[in-house]
Amino acid sequence: GAQAEFGRPAPLPQTGWERLSELWRRDELQQYPEETVNIAKSAFTAGVVGWLYGGLPAFVSARKAFIERSHGELFQNRADAVQSAHRAGLRSFIRYGWRWSWRVTAFATIFNVVSTGLSAYRDKTTISNFAAAGAFTGALFRMHLGLQGLAGGIVFGTAFGIPAGALLMAVYGLAGETLQEKRTRERRELYEQKLAEWQSRLSVTEVLGQTENNAQGRPEMERAREL
């Protein structure tokens, strides 16, 4: 405890692996870095979008197909017929929505993890990071189709990553700095603040030590004079 309180602050990460490992560590407030939180948020958003993308058309199609098939069926009343059509659509919404949801979530999460990791490792954010992340993710999703599928996945992923990266770079340009630059700046400012506090405590400790030594030396000098 004393070492953590009075020791010199830990230096800023110098290597790519050190910066990469910081993405998965909590800070003093037990909070994860903003990049890591954004990965989780984007995964949730991708899941919702994927579910709606796959579920809504399936809902409409299943409801329409049920109505076309049930012209000769008997229902207790109109409400019963409407509810039966809605239940058929809801089953398709859940089934096909889930199929699209987990795929879109997995794609977005892998893409963001790789692009964020490359930006942290290289200590800079460029479109090439997003292109590489897209190529890797696309290849990973299509590698089970063989060499041709792998090549197609790389092309598709790269074609997705470049415009996505360009859009994010444009947003960062409007903000004035990228998330990596913001994190580097905040980390440097926090380190300088901790270093200044440590130097202040160190100077106070030295003054107290010198005062204590002087206080201990006075009685010895008085006894020496008496002798």
Tens of pLDDT, residue by residue over 29-86, are 788 888 889 999 999 999 999 999 999 999 999 888 877 776 655 455 566 667 777 8
Dihedral sign for Cα 135, 136, 142, 147, please.
positive
> What is the span of the domain harbouring residue 83?
35-176
Q: Is residue 166 part of a domain?
A: yes
Tokens (6 digits) for 86: 């809605």
Map residue 115 onto helix, strand or coil: helix
Of 138 and 191, the structure prediction assigns the larger pLDDT to 138
pLDDT for 32 equals: 86
What pLDDT digit, counting tens, does each position of 121-151 carry? Answer: 988 888 999 999 999 999 999 888 888 889 9
Decide: 111 and 134 in contact? Cβ < 8 Å.
yes
116/94 Cα distance (integer angstroms): 32
Q: Is residue 155 part of a domain?
A: yes
Q: Is residue 105 part of a domain?
A: yes
Both 200 and 114 in one domain: the answer is no
Q: What is the pTM of this model?
A: 0.74
136/121 Cα distance (integer angstroms): 16
